[in-house]
Amino acid sequence: MEFEPGLCGRHQVGNAVLAISAALLLKEKGYSSIRAQTLVEGVNRAFNPGRLQKICDTPAIYVDGAHNDEALVKVAEFVEEHTGRPRCLVFAVMSDKQLSSSIHRLEDCFDRIYLTSPSSKRTAAPEQLLTYFPKGIWIEKPIEALNTARQEADTVVVTGSFYLVGEILRSLL
């Protein structure tokens, strides 16, 4: 079996291995008659909107709804391994989220960080976002932040909130 996973990120390889192992175990126990080709197609065609979803090639633009430390670290790992500089981050988060270790990982990955605010009553205020990224540049409207970033970078990543990702996707697609 030869796989070319449809989902981006090293962590998705582990997820695919787990899914394949579970399917094979179920088949071995007689609970499933899944074919090997079906497993390959499932892994290769897997798609999860808003999770390291590439929406543009030039510049490369990725959106990911990562909204906690673990997910943001996975985004940082992907960016470091698979994207080129210069890189810009477009970031927003909800006010009730507490982020810590992921902030430094993200900060190190990007040459410039744009902070913004999607349409939600829960969105963190600019002052709160600036505590996470003191050198961040505030641009109120997400699509304006993205358009500014895409003029400066080879890679742009939009992350921190599914609200932000959803607003960007609705604006572009």
Compute the distance between CA of residue 40 and CA of residue 6 in angstroms, rounded to an integer.
10
Q: What are phi and psi of 158, to 5 degrees?
A: -110, 120
In a shared domain, residues 95 and 164: yes
- Spatial strand order of the sheet with 155-159 comes to 53-56, 60-64, 155-159, 87-91, 112-115, 137-138
* For residues 156-171, average pLDDT: 95
In a shared domain, residues 40 and 90: no
Q: 48 pLDDT band (50/70/90 cuts)? A: low
In a domain, 81, yes or no: yes
In a shared domain, residues 74 and 141: yes
What is the pLDDT, as a whole number, of residue 1? Answer: 64
Q: Give the tens place of pLDDT for each residue, 92-112.
A: 999 998 888 788 889 999 999
Give the residue, 28 or 70, on which the prediction is more confident: 70
Half-sphere exposure of 71 (CA within 13 A, CB side): 17
Compute the distance between CA of residue 116 and CA of residue 98 in angstroms, rounded to an integer.
17
In a shared domain, residues 58 and 129: yes
What is the pLDDT, as a whole number, of residue 50? Answer: 72
Q: Which residue, among 128, 107, 108, 105, has the nearest Cα to 116 in the 3D structure? A: 128
The domain of 98 spans: 53-172
In a shared domain, residues 62 and 36: no
Q: What are phi and psi of 110, to 5 degrees?
A: -120, 145
What is the pLDDT, as a whole number, of residue 99? Answer: 82
- The count of structural domains within the chain is 2
Three-state secondary structure string covering 26-66: HHHCCCCCCCHHHHHHHHHHCCCCCCCEEEECCCEEEEECC
In a shared domain, residues 83 and 108: yes
pLDDT at 90 exceeding the cut of 80: yes
Q: 113 pLDDT band (50/70/90 cuts)? A: very high
What lies within 8 Å, CB to CB, of 148 at 6+ separation is 114, 139
In a domain, 4, yes or no: no
pLDDT at 33 exceeding the cut of 90: no
Query: Minimum mean pLDDT among 5-9, 84-88, 105-109: which range?
Result: 5-9
Give Cα 29 to chain centroid, integer Å.
Answer: 36
CATH of the domain at 164: 3.90.190.20
Q: 60 pLDDT band (50/70/90 cuts)? A: very high
In a shared domain, residues 33 and 109: no
In a shared domain, residues 38 and 58: no
Compute the distance between CA of residue 20 and CA of residue 31 in angstroms, rounded to an integer.
14
